[in-house]
Amino acid sequence: MLRKVLIANRGEIALRVVRECLDQGIETVSVYSTADKDALHVMTADEAVCIGEASPQKSYLKMSNIIEAALGTGCDAIHPGFGFLSENAEFARLCEDNGIKFIGPSAKVIELMGNKAAAREMMKESSVPVVPGSDGAVANIQAALEIASAIGYPILVKASAGGGGKGMRIAKSEDELKNAFEQARLEADAAFGDDSVYIEKLVVNPRHIEVQILADAHGNVIHLGERNCSIQRRNQKMIEEAPASALHQKTREKLCEAAVKAAQISGYEGAGTVEFILDDEENFYFIEMNTRLQVEHPVTEMVTGVNIVAEQLRIASGLPLMYRQKDIEFRGYAIECRVCCEDPLKNFSPCPGKIDFVHFSAGFGVRTDSALYGGAEISPFYDSMAAKIITWGNSRLQAIRKMRRALSETIISGVDTTLQFNHLVMYNRRFLRGKYTTAFIDNELDKLLKLLQTTEDLGKRKRKDSKEE
């Protein structure tokens, strides 16, 4: 088993990994920027090392500082969490070169799957369904126009490297494609240092379904079922659930089989996620593989009982998976709401500041992953997500009802959050029906914001009346 692990991340995921390591009897080292010196992951680890200034480029993305911290504290492994350097092949290779186990797949696999165009071609050659599009990166606008004409509009221009919706543009005509192609290249170069793009047929209003996989160094690969991650804004997920509702069992089985195949052909090791889109007829297509732990992994843990972070540590130690596919049982439904320090009424603008008071819900089937505490600072330098609230029920409706309660009981004062917005989604008819698509937020946003404004106005009126009394 691993002896000492450095967690190259911050916030709730750093705390999650620290806790798991401590539960396993593994020593922990947290790293932090000057902005995070009082963060909970710093307080709970066995050791903590400052790796730079507040800016991510000078701390959490500073590879040399992280490696130096790991070597200086005698760590034999680094857990990258998600975001930051978690899918950086150069960082994984740097760990390997310094005799430090990178808790994830090899640099070679990260590099392969990080290039979406190359990953797409590998899947295509292995009969994993892919969206019709270009064979690899597209060299110039003329080639792009020819491909678009062959597969038909609308089309999607996508960065070959990276993710998170960056370097992605939709084009519905030749004129739009000319501009979209150039804009996608510029954004891809700025975000990833790689301006190469490829082209796919745009599947209009798809469902975004992903499959969690685990793979060890001994050739064992299993899946932990699928998650519906279709509620997104600006290509960023907001609410996830497992299993995906309104999905035929045969489609579910084929999705999971394809995900396992994708992991096998890539030589994958660790926890990973294979992402697909589904059209109205449940035809599904591979879009990418995330070579890391996903933000939404808790919903899968809730319906399978599998501790995914514990399995990551086990795999990194060279041990075989604790489970075989026949051991995995799916029970009930789970939902996750991401609570972000943002103001929905101001175009979801970030709301950094000091947390005055925090109270999270509890009870059977309710879980909260967060590093918040009264007095904590929400920094403007990092992602605005402050907590993940996850609920489980025997039925989807029961999980939803528990989420309604959990959100209403949660108190985060001092900054604006998306708590109330998420709460309103739990009552939305389209959400309750279960067969929603990635267009959900676009279609329902105005309605949700009007309701939110009404509830906020009522709240202000009540507070005013109570003061006057």
Residues annotated catalytic, as ranges: 292
* Cβ neighbours of 312 (radius 10 Å): 21
Report long-range pairs for 354-358 (Cβ below 8 Å, ≥24 apart): 354/378, 354/414, 354/415, 355/412, 355/413, 355/414, 355/415, 356/413, 356/414, 357/411, 357/412, 357/413, 357/414, 358/411, 358/412, 358/413
Q: How far is CA 70 from CA 3, 40, 45, 74, 151, in A?
A: 12, 20, 14, 6, 49
Q: How far is CA 8 from the centre of its chain?
A: 17
* Cβ neighbours of 364 (radius 10 Å): 8
Q: Which residues pair with 211 in a beta bridge?
A: 226, 274
Q: How far is CA 197 from CA 121, 137, 186, in A?
A: 14, 5, 10
Q: Which residue has the tokens 């309710």?
A: 366
Q: Label the pairing between strands 27-33 and 47-52.
A: parallel
* Cβ neighbours of 315 (radius 10 Å): 24
